[in-house]
Amino acid sequence: MPLVPLPELLSHAGKKKYAVGYFESWDVYSLEATVAAAEANGSPVIIGIGGLSSNHDWLQSGGIELYGAISASLAARATVPIATLFNEADSFREAAGGLGAGFNSVMMHTQGWDQEKLLSDTASLVAASHTVNVAVEGEIGALAEIKDGVLDAAGASYTSPEAAELFVRETGVDCLAVAVGNVHFVTGSHIPTVQVDLIKQIGNAVDVPLVLHGGSGTPDDQTRQAIAAGITKVNVGTKLKYVFGNALVAELGQPTEDPNLAFGSRFEGDVNSRAGQALMREIQRLMDVFGSTGQATR
């Protein structure tokens, strides 16, 4: 079916009190597994790639267009509502590379930017994107992250309702990613504490959907509470690579008699397809947590 505008997906989620998952991909197998999970669960979904853990030289020399085309093609063949996202570009220039590339939404990773650049570049991206019917996700505040297994909160800052209101008013973004205790890159034992009351306060201050990054490390119960408080989009990336990678390692631990079957065949013996099945099951589980299962039928 045709791509569905991101604001439309998130508006429906807000009205029905669930969240749409953005399940970040890194290859064709992971993109296909995400769409397969959405179709199996009857769930709307957001698919795409991100710049935060990608080689920016590669992205800017053709990677953005490559994955935008694949994402758009998979969405067109799907039976559930899908939006496509180029997530966390490192600059206005890189984000603008997603316009016309198959993505119908883009986002810049702006943590650490000074206020003037943040407002100016985000407003410029919104102006450029809206002329070609592409939505823009903005962010205000800064997430802590796990580095080498240790929490690094040196540059972290909560999103204040006042800063959120100013940012949305000055830039015109279509949705807003917030820092409310969520943490990037969690794979180990660290458990974030999401500030549910702060989500409610931000929601009262702005008139756009709210987004929770760092979904990999947010416990299921806190995720549900955040959605009940007003989150309508949850980003998950690190956990998915962890699940896929562990499944792939397990598959590669078995003898490979026929490499033509084992790598890229799409038959049952394809180790990437088998890892993709594990990934699909985890995405389906998360869709249940987010409440998006069954919401594709409107």
pLDDT tens-digit map of 218-257: 999 999 999 999 999 999 999 999 999 999 999 999 888 8
Domain spans in the chain, listed from the N-terminal domain onward: 6-290
Segment 32-49 mean pLDDT = 98
Segment 125-153 mean pLDDT = 94
What is the per-residue pLDDT for 277? 97
The superfamily in CATH containing domain 6-290 is Aldolase class I (3.20.20.70)
* Sheet of strand 183-184, all strands in order from the earlier edge strand to the far edge: 150-152, 144-147, 183-184
pLDDT tens-digit map of 53-69: 899 999 999 999 999 99
pLDDT tens-digit map of 11-23: 999 999 999 999 9
pLDDT score of 147 more than 90: no
Residue 144: C-alpha distances to residues 23, 65, 161, 183, 262 (Å): 20, 30, 19, 5, 39
pLDDT score of 298 more than 70: no
Ranges of H-type helices in 113-255 = 115-130, 161-171, 196-205, 220-229, 238-252
From the list 24, 80, 81, the residue with the least C-alpha distance to 47 is 24
pTM for the model stands at: 0.96
